[in-house]
A and B are shown apart, each in its own frame.
Chain A
């Protein structure tokens, strides 16, 4: 790196561990190294910190602490939920999900298809929304589980999961939501909800990587993925990752406190960035309606330039973003999410996701806008298409 300062706008990939979280974890790498399952006091004393964490995460989700199972990550939570639903209703061989899920759900669904399950993938409209009537019609007698993400990782588009859960419940199937991108960013209250299972991941809201959780409603039958010891009430075997669970609890406590800031400060910064892009750069297109997105995310497609080039040029300026349209193999497949949203072909390859956090500042947004404008101009000067005067103006969805 030529300069040390990093402009981090890739918080949907991972977030910085909050200082308070880091501090809270330290004792468990030090004196408090005991195993919470031990009979002696030295180990047993650790259990209460796990209990506290469980309480804190339950509070963030409006759940009761018995409904929280700690896991290693969001993917484990998703897998646990889906496999559990299939095991508790073995006669049901059908699954409903969406085309825009995270690979944690999508790849599992594809795997389940291979071993004999039938999967319905719900399409989305141009704004990334599923059609609830289509969901209703897709649920059958033999549907074991419906899994619909709360907020999309690439676009931030929020799905009407509460309504989807109500519909699913009325049809007698289990409803799971991957809330990895929602937890800590949008209010979640399981007390007044029909959602049966919900996945979260610590490192998306300032806890470290390597810890997640699954919410399972008390009334919902459950079958564990990892079988072994009695940990997590027999619902997830394996010695508890104590420091990380403590970190997750602390992060949940902070998130509960910061959710308002997230919704005001972060969304203001995001809107500033979004408005700035549309003002300074022509032929830019925001994917997904602003009022239906998580407050921190904007996904922009730039016509006639390619996403990886934008990303690498921004990276050279110490700006960290991501592209859904990674030209990651000979197939050059653009993002499955943007394809499902019918983003036009001359735009889809040039898509960049900016995802902010409470640690970003106005000054950072100004810097990014400045560099981004220059990068797009440079790449358009290089593009064989950039000479064309486009007939389209800016396209934005409000």
Chain B
């Protein structure tokens, strides 16, 4: 196995880092986050420069690279700003499964607009928490179409996505992934949910009121393959976000402790803090390696894909939570103040850890896979 990135990968990493350093202004980020606004201009720029859709084949507007390269970009973006980075990373959440399972027509119509910065897409997967009214979204099948009725919760960018892939049961135990347009008749995004972090993104419950979906908008087949692939891919993306944010938190904390003086010296001189840095560094490196391994497994469609992606997500997200909490701690009182954006890194990372799939579900999956 190779531990070094290829020259192409290094170039991409460098380009992403330079873009983020130059464009992700901390004051702008704070403003966008405070106002709950999607970083539209930065997203469009990232698309024009080829960062978004880096893993789409050229004929769909991409760079014909892979998830691995997308991970490198996400890491660099999230390192500079957790909110902007995560927002850009999650803006094409459905593209991975469209790439893997989509028909030619579906790929053309859905991927090209995203690569051009003209559209964002998302996935509606989570069912309502309390099984209340409306009920979890289900699809009724007829010879010519599917009809979706019910509710999905926590849909990332639900109110602004042009296209949504909706996972629903068509009959007990059998799921379908249906491509729905955001402005289609019967699709309604409820009021934005107030989340702990990732405030730049809108997270909405969605209600589907007899939404008609033509058969050619079925993504893949009936069954769980599409969902399984989606989850594997999202775990990798979430881990990449987590590693990026962790590194950003570490870097910022080193900077702060080199400047902050107490007891007659810069506080980075205190070994107690140095031990904390040692812990952070070790864990971030371990998480990064695991994420890269998982990204490779996805591209190679390895047989251990589920386990390794679960492990990567669990580990990287936990490392990110611990790292950002410690980053706040090492900043002292300043770490608690919103204007310094350190506490935001923690809130964003905690949201990433739990929004799409939880560490607990992933642990349960790994454990069960040994039975």
Partners in one complex: no
Q: Which residues of B line the A interface, CB within 8 A?
A: none
Residues of A near any B CB (own CB < 8 A): none
